[in-house]
Chains A and B, each alone.
Chain A
């Protein structure tokens, strides 16, 4: 592959095999270096586990992961929900915001299997999401898992097409923002009362964490479902036309 060298050529790469080989070699070298680093790394320090264990009793929950997410490093979670909201704002096209949140549409062909699957599965998923949210205080579970399950239920609802959720209505927008708004409101109130951002008083920590988690669950679910709906080409609603005129 290197046998013909043209000094005059000034364009883009025209030998995919050579670029493949070069990339493979550099990635292999990188991998070997990283493996050597990993093999020489002695992980005998205790990590952050003792600190988490020590202050778990004052965090309001008994699941250490939830305690880290929503109490010790709550600032990270706040920023994460903000990032999710920013992505949704970037992705959702601006279209009819006057219509209601959920709308029944006429369908010509009923898919019997999908409709009955939706009818049986969606309430069960809803209930399981509520259980995960509640169990997140003591067991594995929490806001992200519950929100993702709810978003899965919304995607399932989307498949049959009987109900159509309008993700740009005022209601949906406020639901998307409610997680971040509740987080910031609690944080600001805690600045007022406790003097520091997101430093919970010990008696109310469990209640405040559950409040923030409920708002975060709702907005994560609506955000993920709207991200899914932004990728769907809906024939009847002029979604594609909006894309065309936008571009």
Chain B
């Protein structure tokens, strides 16, 4: 029982940290990847709560389809020279964008 509580506390802490990081990370790509990770962690949480229908749907839609949609949209709007050299101005733009 204690182990169960400890697991829940760790899971919830990780969810909160991942939620924070998936909004306020510097790179937009990192935000998207962390959001997909958050979806998978939440799937575990809903398995813990006995909501198996919701867990299956979240794993397929929340983590899979939404992640694919976000990555496709990021591919359309990313600046052209970002993957060439992530120089100082680009990171500063992202940093200001986070504020």
Residues of A participating in the B interface, judged by any CB pair closer than 8 Å: 16-17, 20, 63, 65-66, 132, 140-142, 144-145, 148-149, 151-152, 155, 224, 227-228, 231-233
User: Is B10 close to A, CB under 8 A?
Assistant: no
Q: Are B69 and A148 in contact (CB under 8 A)?
A: no
Q: Which of B55, B65, B76 contacts A151 (CB 8 A)?
A: B65
Q: Are B56 and A224 in contact (CB under 8 A)?
A: no
Q: Are B65 and A224 in contact (CB under 8 A)?
A: yes
Q: Are B68 and A155 in contact (CB under 8 A)?
A: yes
Q: Which of A20, A66, A145, A227 contacts B56 (CB 8 A)?
A: A145
Residues of B participating in the A interface, judged by any CB pair closer than 8 Å: 52-53, 55-57, 60-61, 64-65, 68-69, 72-73, 75-76, 99
Q: Are B72 and A149 in contact (CB under 8 A)?
A: no
Q: Are A144 and B61 in contact (CB under 8 A)?
A: yes
Nearest-neighbor residue (CB-CB) of B52 within chain A: A140
Q: Which of B52, B64, B72, B76 contacts A148 (CB 8 A)?
A: B64
How close is B40's CB to chain A, nearest CB, in angstroms? 14
Q: Which of B53, B65, B69, B75 contacts A141 (CB 8 A)?
A: B53
**Using Cβ atoms and an 8 Å threshold, which residues of chain B touch A227?**
69
Q: Which of B55, B60, B76 contacts A231 (CB 8 A)?
A: B76
Q: Which of A63, A148, A155, A228 contacts B57 (CB 8 A)?
A: A148
A148 and B65 in contact (CB under 8 A), knowing A228-B72, A231-B73? yes
Q: Are B56 and A140 in contact (CB under 8 A)?
A: yes
**Using Cβ atoms and an 8 Å threshold, which residues of chain B touch A233?**
75-76
Q: Are A152 and B75 in contact (CB under 8 A)?
A: no
Q: Are A152 and B53 in contact (CB under 8 A)?
A: no
Q: Are B99 and A152 in contact (CB under 8 A)?
A: no
Q: Are B75 and A148 in contact (CB under 8 A)?
A: no
CA distance A108 to B44 in the complex (A): 41
A228 and B61 in contact (CB under 8 A), knowing A140-B53, A142-B53? no
Q: Are B72 and A232 in contact (CB under 8 A)?
A: yes
Q: Are B72 and A132 in contact (CB under 8 A)?
A: no
Q: Are A65 and B53 in contact (CB under 8 A)?
A: yes
**Using Cβ atoms and an 8 Å threshold, which residues of chain A touch B57?**
144-145, 148
Q: Which of B60, B68, B69, B73 contacts A149 (CB 8 A)?
A: B60
Nearest-neighbor residue (CB-CB) of A65 within chain B: B53
**Using Cβ atoms and an 8 Å threshold, which residues of chain A touch B68?**
155, 228
CA distance A20 to B24 in the complex (A): 13
Residue picked from A20, A63, A140, A141, most chain B C-beta under 10 Å: A140
How close is A201's CB to chain B, nearest CB, in angstroms? 26
In the complex, 27 of the A-B residue pairs with CB atoms within 8 angstroms, ordered by the A residue number, are A16-B99, A65-B53, A66-B53, A140-B52, A140-B53, A140-B55, A140-B56, A141-B56, A142-B53, A144-B57, A144-B61, A145-B53, A145-B57, A148-B60, A149-B60, A151-B65, A152-B64, A155-B64, A224-B65, A227-B69, A228-B65, A228-B68, A228-B69, A231-B69, A231-B72, A233-B75, A233-B76
